[in-house]
Amino acid sequence: MTQERPRWRLVFFTVWTGQAFSLLGSQLVQFSLVWWLTRSTGSATILATATLMTLLPGILLGPFAGACVDRWDRRLVMMVADGSIALATLGLAVLSAVEALHVWHIYAIMMIRAIGSTFHWPAMQASTSLMVPKKQLSRVAGLNQTLSGALNVAAPPLGALLISLLPLHGVLMIDVGTALLAILPLTWVRIPRPERAVTADGQAGCKASLWQDVLEGLRYMRGWPGLFWVGIVAVLVSLLLNPAFALVPIFVVRHLGGQALQLGWMESAWGFGIVLGGLILSAWGGFRRRVRTALMGVAGLGLGALLVGLTPRGVLWPALVGTFLAGAMYPIANGPVFAIVQAAVAPQMQGRVLTLLNSAAAAAAPLGLLIAGPVADLLDVNIWFLIGGAVCLLVGLAGFFVPMIVHIEDHVYSPGVDEHEASPAADTEVKQ
């Protein structure tokens, strides 16, 4: 049995490393495209529309993408998603090189890339539980959060440097190269496919319609009250805190009287916090009951937002402390939730459950922005930090006293990956 441990690490981290390079390329492209739009148009409306192009596919297609991921070969889904994104980016690079690039091209490519990511993300997350032993899932989730934070810190300055050295199509070609690095390992690594479940009417899952698959995912979550309420907490956090931190530029200007330098410090504090929190989670692994770790993270997020909201006018350091704390608690709140789903949800349901959770949380963010903007203009920008921080702090603490949340991991439909057996992970192997 001891020979299984290095084997899963070799397989998983081979795939993970390729995906990490691809994420870096995607971040560089995102930064470059936003800068091109800013420099070429100077329009806030165009930037807002571009952001909408990146959000809509995840909100509208997410549940259906999850159902497709549960039907299809997840390895092929990742390969096709990465390949489609690379081809779209290559086309944009050609348009840029011949100086035929227009704003609508950027919109189209952003939407294509977002559609690819909508399929790729659940495929990778649902594949993780088939490659990684259950006891290691929280650490892997922490590592993923660390990577996300590191990219948030490194990608903007690296993107700015590359833009100063290369034309836009040069930066785009870097992303094409990193996408190939992500696809290459998937050509020789085999990821097990979970067996399709039998539906209520006795049909094999693959014969059910896509809509039936989505409804089955909803019924699955509704039949598991603990998971349902964890989803409600995720929606509340997204509704309250995503808009708050989206208002940071306005907060810096209006409340702190700062400029671009102070905004940079705030963004760096958030990024470094995420890196630290992810490293802590990957080294520690969290409490035995993962949900307790997540609830502590939600409470910590709320406390960090409260500190930002309580910052006196013109004083930067309390806002930096609050932002850093919120950043550190972000992976502590998110990572264990992914690990719970990967460990406890039946493998053939994971794509749907993950995308339903993600789509619900993503849909809450624009709604929160519609409310937070007028509130900030009517009252003061720090008010939303106070509201969001207080609610999240209370929700995080209250969760410790809700039995169906605390005991969410006692509910078992189909066990996830065990350390040495009881799942296809033990059969994960490199193709000969």
CA 326 remoteness from chain centre: 16
The CA distances from residue 57 to 19, 79, 420, in Å, are: 21, 19, 38
CA gap 170, 93 in Å, rounded: 7
pLDDT-based confidence at 115, cuts 50/70/90?
very high
Q: Domain limits of the chain?
A: 4-189+208-418
pLDDT of 199-242, one tens digit each?
Answer: 444 444 445 577 777 788 788 877 788 888 888 888 888 888 88
pLDDT at residue 87 in the model: 93
Is residue 303 over pLDDT 90? yes
pLDDT at residue 44 in the model: 54
CA gap 377, 130 in Å, rounded: 48
pLDDT of 341-385, one tens digit each?
Answer: 777 777 777 778 877 887 888 778 778 877 877 877 778 878 889
pLDDT of 257-283, one tens digit each?
Answer: 877 677 768 877 888 898 898 888 888
Across 53-64, average pLDDT: 80
Is residue 86 over pLDDT 80? yes
CA gap 366, 52 in Å, rounded: 9
Nearest in space to 117 (alpha carbons), one of 88, 156, 158, 149: 88
Is residue 411 over pLDDT 90? no
Predicted TM-score of the model (pTM): 0.65
Q: Which stretches within 132-259 are classed as H helix?
A: 137-165, 168-186, 210-222, 225-246, 248-250
Report the share of the chain in percent with pLDDT over 70.
88
Task: Note whether 230 and 353 are within 8 A (CB).
Answer: no
Task: Note whether 130 and 342 are within 8 A (CB).
Answer: no
pLDDT at residue 260 in the model: 62
May I ask the CATH class of domain 4-189+208-418?
Answer: mainly alpha
pLDDT at residue 432 in the model: 33
Angle between helical axes of 260-284 and 317-344 (0-180°, round to 10): 40
Is residue 311 over pLDDT 90? yes
Choose the weakest-confidence range: 4-13, 22-31, 161-170. Answer: 4-13
Is residue 319 over pLDDT 80? yes
